[in-house]
Amino acid sequence: MPPIANERSVLAHSLLADTANPGPPRPALSGAVRAETVGWGASGRNGGQVNPGLKDGPAALARRFGADLGGRMTQLSGAGGALVYGLIEKHKIRCDARRVGWIRAAHTRKALASLPAVAAEWRATGAPVVDLDAAESQRLLGTPGHVGGIIDRRGGNLYPLNYTLGLADAAERAGARLHGDSRVTDLGPDGDLVAVTTAEGRVTARHVLICTNADTGGLADPLGKTVVPIASVQVATAPLSSNVAASILPEGHAPSDTRRLPARTLKGASSSAAVRSTVTAYRLLDRLGV
Ligand SMILES: Cc1cc2nc3c(=O)[nH]c(=O)nc-3n(C[C@H](O)[C@H](O)[C@H](O)COP(=O)(O)OP(=O)(O)OC[C@H]3O[C@@H](n4cnc5c(N)ncnc54)[C@H](O)[C@@H]3O)c2cc1C
């Protein structure tokens, strides 16, 4: 096999070993190629929130997808926090993990109205999701701007790049191999195998998993077209003084709130023509006073 730059272990191998649900046997992975280095993608630079469940609660999922599929979506997504924190503990990943719960805070009484029902639906499945009154949500968030909310104690937050690197290290220790800086430029059949071509080499495999997510581009067309690009903006303050830091998010939560940008803006933001750069996105937010 020709050499490929920056050989390291496979992230996906560890995930398979640790998360495999009972089901049909899965093929062993012998290696993975990544376009950049471990953690370069969304996994290394996301918000670090560990949010169990999906946007819709269990009842809405059952209504929309039927009792069977909706139930399985509830079960799988609800178990996400346990999976993440279990991996962190098992592999001793140092990523500032805090299982303090995920707060969904309501900014108006109207927005608050639907949250207790979602919490009750989760409780009916055995999940520790409870209501927060105005005083408690204001204490945990350190702002008077919310009228209540719910907290899902299965969730929390972590430092995403270190989590991703920790998984890669765990995979490496398990004997997996990862090749960074090796963008796949072509995939195609080679007899009974699949040939994977990069700028520097070519490998064949019995099975190939395409885990390129939003960065898929033209590889394995039309897969990339199933992803809709949206611009995302994150803002950081200057370091806070200790007395201010102690009053804001005193228990280290990474909350979400019920505010939404107007639909028109979301539509605009989802168009790559409308938001070509972070600067443009900031200008949009500025105009809205966000
Ligand atoms: C700004 C932001 C904030 C987010 N916040 C949160 C959050 O708080 N909580 C949460 O749970 N989720 C969050 N997410 C979502 C989460 O980060 C993603 O769902 C998750 O990281 C996707 O993981 P992935 O492995 O599928 O993709 P990625 O981590 O993006 O990995 C895809 C990989 O494919 C590689 N690749 C692409 N093309 C090729 C090619 N041709 N050849 C070889 N390799 C290739 C890339 O190099 C990359 O490493 C956020 C996402 C973003 C963008």
Which residue's C-alpha comes closest to atom 10 of ligand 1? 49
Pocket test for ligand 1, best of 6, 15, 43 (most atoms within 8 A of CB): 43
Ligand 1 centre distance from Cα of residue 91 (Å): 21
Is the beta carbon of 39 within 6 A of some atom in ligand 1? no
Work out the number of other CB atoms within 10 angstroms of the CB of residue 258.
Answer: 17
**Domain residues of the chain, as ranges?**
14-46+160-226, 230-287
> Rounded distance, CA 162 to CA 158, Å?
8
What is the fold of 14-46+160-226?
FAD/NAD(P)-binding domain (3.50.50)
- Per-residue pLDDT at 290: 58
Is the beta carbon of 46 within 6 A of some atom in ligand 1? yes
Global pTM? 0.83
The ligand 1 atom at the shortest distance from the C-alpha of residue 43 is 21
Is the beta carbon of 219 within 6 A of some atom in ligand 1? yes
Is the beta carbon of 156 within 6 A of some atom in ligand 1? no
The ligand 1 atom at the shortest distance from the C-alpha of residue 254 is 8
Ligand 1 centre distance from Cα of residue 242 (Å): 33
- Per-residue pLDDT at 284: 72
Ligand 1 centre distance from Cα of residue 131 (Å): 32
Q: Return per-residue pLDDT of the chain as tens, 290 residues.
A: 343 444 333 333 333 333 333 333 333 444 566 666 788 888 988 889 999 999 899 999 999 999 999 999 999 999 999 999 999 999 999 999 999 999 999 999 999 999 999 999 999 999 999 999 999 999 999 999 899 999 999 999 999 989 998 999 898 889 888 888 888 999 999 999 999 998 888 889 998 989 888 888 888 888 888 888 777 777 778 888 988 888 999 999 999 989 875 443 333 334 444 445 667 777 777 776 65
Is the beta carbon of 35 within 6 A of some atom in ligand 1? yes
- Per-residue pLDDT at 261: 56
> Rounded distance, CA 258 to CA 150, Å?
11
Ligand 1 centre distance from Cα of residue 60 (Å): 27
- Per-residue pLDDT at 38: 80
The ligand 1 atom at the shortest distance from the C-alpha of residue 212 is 34
Write the DSSP assignment of the chain as a string of letters.
Answer: ----SSEE--HHHHHHHHHPPSSSPPPPP--EE-SSSTT-SHHHHS--EE--S-SS-HHHHHHHH-HHHHHHHHHHHHTHHHHHHHHHHHTT--S--B-S-EEEEESSHHHHTTHHHHHHHHHHTT--EEEE-HHHHHHHHT-TT--EEEEETT-EE--HHHHHHHHHHHHHHTT--EE-S--EEEEEEETTEEEEEESS-EEEES------GGG-TTTTTTGGGG----------PSPPPHHHHHHSSTT----EES----HHHHHHHH-TTT--SHHHHHHHHHHHT-
Is the beta carbon of 65 within 6 A of some atom in ligand 1? no
- Per-residue pLDDT at 32: 63
What are 203's strand-pairing partners?
Answer: 196
Pocket test for ligand 1, best of 46, 95, 235 (most atoms within 8 A of CB): 46
Ligand 1 centre distance from Cα of residue 34 (Å): 12
Ligand 1 centre distance from Cα of residue 64 (Å): 27
